[in-house]
A and B are shown apart, each in its own frame.
Chain A
Amino acid sequence: MGGFRPCHTACRVGVLIVAEGCVWDAAAECMPRDDLRRLQGERLRNVVRYAYDQVPAYRAKLDGAGVAPDAIKSLEDLSKLPFTTKDDLRENYPFGMFAVPLEQVVRLHASSGTTGKQTVVGYTRGDLDLWAEVIARTLSAGGVQARDIVQNSYGYGLFTGGLGLHYGAEKIGASVIPTSGGQTKRQIQIMQDFGTTALCCTPSYALVIAEAARELGADVRHLPLRVGFFGAEPWSERMRVDIESQMGVDALDIYGLSEVIGPGVSYECLEKAGLHVCEDHFYPEVVDPETGRPVAPGECGELVFTTLTKQALPLLRYRTRDLTTLDESPCPCGRTLRRMDHVTGRSDDMLIIRGVNVFPSQIEAVLLGIEGTSPHYLLVVDREYGRLDELEVWVEMSPETFSDEVKRLEALEQKVRAEIESVLGLTVRVKLVEPKSIPRSEGKAKRVMDGRDLGR
Chain B
Amino acid sequence: MRVSQISVFLENKSGRLAEVTRTLADRGINIRALCVAETIDYGVLRLIVSDPEAARRALSDGGFTVTETQVLVLEIPDRPGGLATAIERLAEKGINIEYIYAFVTKSGENANVVFRLEQMEEAARILAGEGFRILAGDEVYRL
Contacts and interface: CB of A to CB of B under 8 A. Distances in A.
Given A402-B9, A405-B98, A410 B65 contact: no
Contacts of A435: 65
A437 B9 CA distance: 12
Nearest to A436: B63
Interface in B15-46: 37, 39, 41-42, 44, 46
B5 interface: yes
B67 A432 contact: no
A432 B42 contact: yes
Interface in B71-103: 98-99
| Most A Cβ at <10 Å: residue of B9, B44, B46, B69 | B9
B50 interface: no
A404 interface: yes
A397 B41 CA distance: 13
Contacts of B44: 404-406, 409
B46 A432 contact: no
Interface string B39-59: 101101010000000000000
Contacts of A410: 39
Interface in A416-431: 431
Interface string A374-413: 0000000000000000000000010100111110011000
Interface in A214-246: none
A406 B63 CA distance: 20
| Most B Cβ at <10 Å: residue of A397, A403, A404, A406 | A404
A328 interface: no
Contacts of A434: 9, 11, 64-65
B7 interface: yes
A182 to B, nearest CB: 25
A433 interface: yes
A404 B7 contact: yes
A404 B46 contact: yes
Contact of B39 (A402, A406, A436, A437): A406
A432 B65 contact: no
A404 B5 CA distance: 10
Contacts of B37: 404, 406
Size class of the contact patch on chain B: 10 to 19
Size class of the contact patch on chain A: 10 to 19
A402 B46 contact: no
Contacts of B7: 402, 404
Given A404-B5, A404-B7, A405-B99, A431 B69 contact: no
A402 B65 contact: yes
Contacts of B46: 404
A399 B65 contact: yes
Contacts of B9: 397, 402, 434
A410 B66 CA distance: 17
A337 to B, nearest CB: 50
Contacts of A404: 5, 7, 37, 44, 46, 67, 69, 116
Contacts of A397: 9, 65
A435 B11 CA distance: 11
Nearest to A394: B41
A431 B41 CA distance: 7
Contact of A403 (B63, B64, B67): B67
B134 to A, nearest CB: 20
A169 to B, nearest CB: 43
A90 to B, nearest CB: 35
A390 B37 CA distance: 26
Interface string A431-447: 11111110000000000
A435 B60 CA distance: 11
22 contacts: A402-B7, A402-B66, A403-B67, A404-B7, A404-B37, A404-B44, A404-B67, A404-B69, A404-B116, A405-B44, A405-B98, A405-B99, A405-B116, A406-B39, A406-B44, A409-B39, A409-B44, A433-B11, A433-B42, A434-B11, A434-B65, A436-B63
Given A433-B42, A434-B64, A435-B65, 10 more contacts: A397-B65, A402-B66, A404-B5, A409-B42, A409-B44, A410-B39, A431-B41, A434-B9, A436-B63, A437-B11
